[in-house]
Each structure stands twice: as C-alpha cells, then as structure tokens.
Amino acid sequence: MEALGNLLLGFSVALSPVNLLWCLVGVFLGTVVGVLPGLGPAATIAMLLPLTLKMDHTTAIIALAGIFYGARYGGSTTSILLNIPGESSSVVTCLDGYQLARQGRAGAALGIAAVASFVAGTIGVLGLMLVAPPLARFALRFAPPEYFALMTLGLAMVVFLAGPSMIKALLALLIGLWLSTIGIDLFTAESRFTFGQAKLLGGVDFIAATVGIFAIGELLVNLESRAGAELFKVAKGFRNLLPTLQDLKDCRFAFLNGSLVGFLVGALPGAGATVASFLAYGLEKAFSRHPEKFGTGVIEGVAAPEGANNADAGGALVPLLTLGIPGGNTTAILLGGLILWGYRPGPLLIQEHPQLFWGLVASMYVGNFLLLVLNLPLVPLFAQILRLPYYILYPLILGISIVGVYSVNNSSFDVWVMALFGLLGYLMRKLEFPAAALILGMVLGDALERALRQSLMMSQGDIMILATRPISGTLLLLAAVILLMPAARKVRSWRLDAIERAG
C-alpha cells in the first residue's frame, strides 16, 4: 500500500508537463545515441551534465536516465539491419536479427525488439520499485567466487553459439579469451601481449572488434558473391513490416526470460548488460523447442537479448539508488550528477528524497511507453533502408562502421583494429568458425580471469572456494549441466537409432 501511495506521488512528479517533456527529450536522445554505433549513453550524459545544473534536479535525472535506458532501445536497429552492433549489449542481437532481415523480416525483428524492450523495461522498473532494497542486499552476497561462477555459466553458453563443429567453437572461444588478456594486468601492473605497443596497453576495444567481425566480415563475404545485390527482400505493405501475433506468441517466454535475467544481472555491480544479453540468448535456446534454428533467424533470438539489456537498465539503478554504488560507466556518471546537484547518493537517498526516487521510477514507466510509441512507427521507415541498392548500402555500412568505431575513443588506431578484425571475421565465416563464440570469450574473459584470481587470493590458493559456497556452487552445477547437454542429446539420438535398428 505504501508503495502505491509513493507511486502516486511519483506520477504526480513525472506527469507534470515539464518533466514529461524532458522525459521525452531524454528517451528520444537515448534512442538516437543507441542507433549510432560508437557514441554511447555514458559519453552523451557526461556532455549534457553541465546543462542540467540550472534545471530542477528531479527533472534532470528523469532526462538523463531517459538517455540511459533509451539507448538500449536504439541499440538493436543497426544490429538487425546492417549487422553493426549499435551498443556492446546488442552484439547478440546481430545473430538472429540480421538473419531475419536477410529473409525480409527486418520489420518483424525491429518491432519485436521494441516490444521486448518495452515489456522488459517495464518489468525492470517494477522490480526497481518493489524489490530494490532486498535485492541490493542479496547482490552484496556476490563475492569473486560467485562472479566466477556466473561468468563460467556465461562461458557454458558457447554450447548454444556453436555451429556444426563444437571444436571450432571452443577454439574461437579460446581466441576470444586470449584477446581479453591483452593490456595491463590489474594485479601485477605488468603488460601482456602488447608487443611493445603503447596503444594496446588499454586492450583491444570491444566495439572495434565486434563491428569488424560482424559488419566488415559480412560485407567482405557479400562483396565476393555478386548475389549480394539481391540479398534483402523488403516486405510490401505497412502491416507486413510489423511482428505478427504469432511472433508475439512465440516470444512469450523470451520476454520473461530476458526481463528476469537482465534485471538480476543488472543489479550486480560487476557484470553488465552484455553478459546479461548473452545469458538470456543462451537460456532461450536451451529451453527452446527448436534450438537448431537459432542463428538462422528466429524471432525469440532477438526478443531475449533485447529484453535483457533493457531490464538491465532497471537493475543497474538498484545498487546506485539504494547504496550509492555505481555498477558501470553510465551509472557512475549519474552518480556524479547526483553529487553535482547537491544530493548525497547513498543508503539514505530514497528515505530522504522520496520525490526523486519515486519521480524517477514513475518517469521510467512513462519513458518506456514513450519509447514504444516513438519506436514502432520508425520500424517500417528503418526497414526501407534495405531497399537501397548494394552499391549505396555497402559504402553506407562501411562509413557508419568507421565513424562509429572512431568516435568511441577518437582513435584511428581503433579503425585499424576494426579492419583487422574484419579480415578475421571474413576468414572465420569462410572456415565456418562461429564468430559469436569468439565475442563471448572477449566479453567474459576479463571478468572471468579477474574473479578467479580474486577468489584464489581470498582463499590463499584453495580452489575449493569456488565450489563450496552455495551460490557459486549452484551456478557452477548449472554450467556443468549446460555443458553436458549436447553430449546427452547425442547419447539420446544414438539410443533412438539403436532402438530403431533393433526394432
């Protein structure tokens, strides 16, 4: 009941014309930033922070938070249409989204991404509203061994990203893990695999690598075969450009899966939306009735990760608002903003400034709705891009990729990294190595290694610390089950074969 009263207070704040307007401005900007690869919400919010000083503080956080979760909506657009991941949390969306676009279902994929984002975004806010303090306390139980187990569970998802050959998938994964070790090692301050290059001290930029592997690699393959000219079909008529009722039905589980995984992982300060999106995709495939179709363009393969990265936004606000602990770059900027506006973000924030917290929560319901209304009409419009002839479309993809990658760090070195990874992506496609497995290794490698070394430091080198703690033990068990699934499936098919032969 108390929550209801507070929520009413929140809506009275969020629905004031000024706040409504700034919420719209925020989510619109967020969408734009999300669509553009490279430019991310953290940099955008940092740039706009000075402008908010003269605004009412609640209005300011409503607008800036709008950029934060709005960017998650836009991230899927270039992933689906052009195979260019718009944000790192939309990398997985490329796998099935782009295939759907090639089959002429770009509109359906974009539409389902918007709907999944709306559903999961709303569930994320619901969670933020109802369970934030207990969830934050639960998240504090995550120490390095738990993070290690979570990352291992993530790695186990390689099973679902593998193509026909598991060996090739594991090899790609190992290369990804290796790539994640490049740079200065946090624990010894020594550099690894930098080949004397100061520019590699910071590691390989993730956006540069993924854009290279996905977008440039795909481009090179298509250039090779002139058939690329007619790769895309675009359905005629407005109604065919939106998801069908059947699509929505197929995604029921994906919506829920994405929402829960995204929200829970989001509440952990050391994980992040990219990890959440990979986990949701893997789980979706694990429980699917047609797992073999994933990667060829199934609609749930878009809904699950897109849902996860939106629910993550709600989750990420849990430690920020209840404890004053930022989980990532963007929430760190928001924390900086709160301090700049004169708040004291910490365990007492919600209690002392209820109108700020509840106004923000209410504005996020409104914002998610605005995003849906804003994004759905854009879907048929965006889908028209694919009508462009290849001699316009391909230079466009190349241009967007270069500008996007350059703008992450204003570094031309990163553009070369992208080019190199483009070649790698091309070779991997030719040799049928799954690129997604390599990306998975890159996403998780750093956090996995760190968590393992931290755990061993905690236990004075006793590896049993990983298995004997309840949360990490459970997660590791789950990972083992997932890893054994393909083997189990094989055994079952042998048995069926044997029975058939015997019969």
Contact between 356 and another protein (CB under 8 A)?
A: no
Among 9, 20, 25, 49, binds another protein (CB under 8 A): 49
Contact between 216 and another protein (CB under 8 A)?
A: no
Give the SS3 label for residue 104. Answer: coil
Nearer to another protein, 172 or 323 (CB): 323
Which region, left, alpha or beta, applies to residue 49 given φ > 0 means left and ψ of -120 to 50 means alpha? alpha
CB of 205: closest distance to another protein in angstroms?
9
Contact between 409 and another protein (CB under 8 A)?
A: yes
Q: Which of residues 285-344 bind another protein (CB under 8 A)?
A: 319, 323-327, 329-333, 335-336, 339-340, 344
Q: What beta strand segments (E) does 215-302 contain?
A: none
Contact between 45 and another protein (CB under 8 A)?
A: yes
Nearer to another protein, 141 or 239 (CB): 141
One-letter amino acid of 356: L
Distance of CA 392 to CAs 94, 177, 385, Å?
Answer: 21, 36, 10
Rounded Cα–Cα distance for residues 228 and 216 (Å): 14
Nearer to another protein, 220 or 471 (CB): 471
CB of 123: closest distance to another protein in angstroms?
24
Nearer to another protein, 16 or 409 (CB): 409
Write phi, then psi, for 419 (nearest 5 degrees): -60, -45
Q: Residue 355: how many CA atoms within 13 Å on its side-chain side?
A: 11
CB of 428: closest distance to another protein in angstroms?
26
Rounded Cα–Cα distance for residues 500 and 57 (Å): 71
Q: Which of residues 24-43 bind another protein (CB under 8 A)?
A: 42-43
Nearer to another protein, 461 or 503 (CB): 461
Among 3, 8, 18, 53, binds another protein (CB under 8 A): 53
CB of 224: closest distance to another protein in angstroms?
35
Query: 162 exposed, middle or buried (CB, 10 Å; 0-12, 13-18, 19+)?
Result: buried
Nearer to another protein, 79 or 331 (CB): 331
Q: What is the DSSP letter of 88?
A: G
Rounded Cα–Cα distance for residues 466 and 122 (Å): 35
Contact between 23 and another protein (CB under 8 A)?
A: no
Among 30, 75, 345, 367, binds another protein (CB under 8 A): 345
Q: Which tokens belong to 115? A: 């709907």
Contact between 46 and another protein (CB under 8 A)?
A: yes
- Cβ neighbours, 10 Å, residue 490: 10
Quick check: 254 and 311 in contact, CB under 8 A?
no
CB of 156: closest distance to another protein in angstroms?
23
Question: In the stretch 123-162, what mask flags binding to another protein with x, by CB under 8 A?
Answer: ----------------xxxxxx------------------
- Cβ neighbours, 10 Å, residue 246: 10
Nearer to another protein, 342 or 389 (CB): 342
Rounded Cα–Cα distance for residues 90 and 72 (Å): 8
CB of 392: closest distance to another protein in angstroms?
33
Among 74, 86, 127, 270, binds another protein (CB under 8 A): 270
Q: Which tokens belong to 487? A: 């083997």
Quick check: 294 and 162 in contact, CB under 8 A?
no
Nearer to another protein, 111 or 266 (CB): 266
Distance of CA 76 to CAs 84, 132, 296, Å?
Answer: 9, 27, 17
Nearer to another protein, 167 or 198 (CB): 198
Quick check: 442 and 151 in contact, CB under 8 A?
no
Q: What is the DSSP letter of 183?
A: E
Distance of CA 372 to CAs 42, 76, 114, 121, 378, Å?
Answer: 22, 14, 6, 10, 10
Rounded Cα–Cα distance for residues 375 and 355 (Å): 29
CB of 54: closest distance to another protein in angstroms?
10
Nearer to another protein, 115 or 150 (CB): 150
- Cβ neighbours, 10 Å, residue 128: 26
CB of 59: closest distance to another protein in angstroms?
18
Write phi, then psi, for 48 (nearest 5 degrees): -85, -15
Q: What is the DSSP letter of 184?
A: E
Q: Which tokens belong to 180? A: 């994640």
Applying CB under 8 A, the site for another protein has a residue count of 59
CB of 227: closest distance to another protein in angstroms?
41
Q: Which of residues 161-200 bind another protein (CB under 8 A)?
A: 183-184, 186-191, 194, 196-199
Q: Which of residues 447-466 bind another protein (CB under 8 A)?
A: 450, 454, 457-458, 460
Contact between 350 and another protein (CB under 8 A)?
A: no
Contact between 201 and another protein (CB under 8 A)?
A: yes
Contact between 473 and another protein (CB under 8 A)?
A: no
Give the SS3 label for residue 191. Answer: strand
Nearer to another protein, 197 or 493 (CB): 197
The site for another protein (CB under 8 A) is made up of 42-43, 45-46, 49-50, 53, 139-144, 183-184, 186-191, 194, 196-199, 201-203, 269-270, 319, 323-327, 329-333, 335-336, 339-340, 344-349, 409-410, 450, 454, 457-458, 460
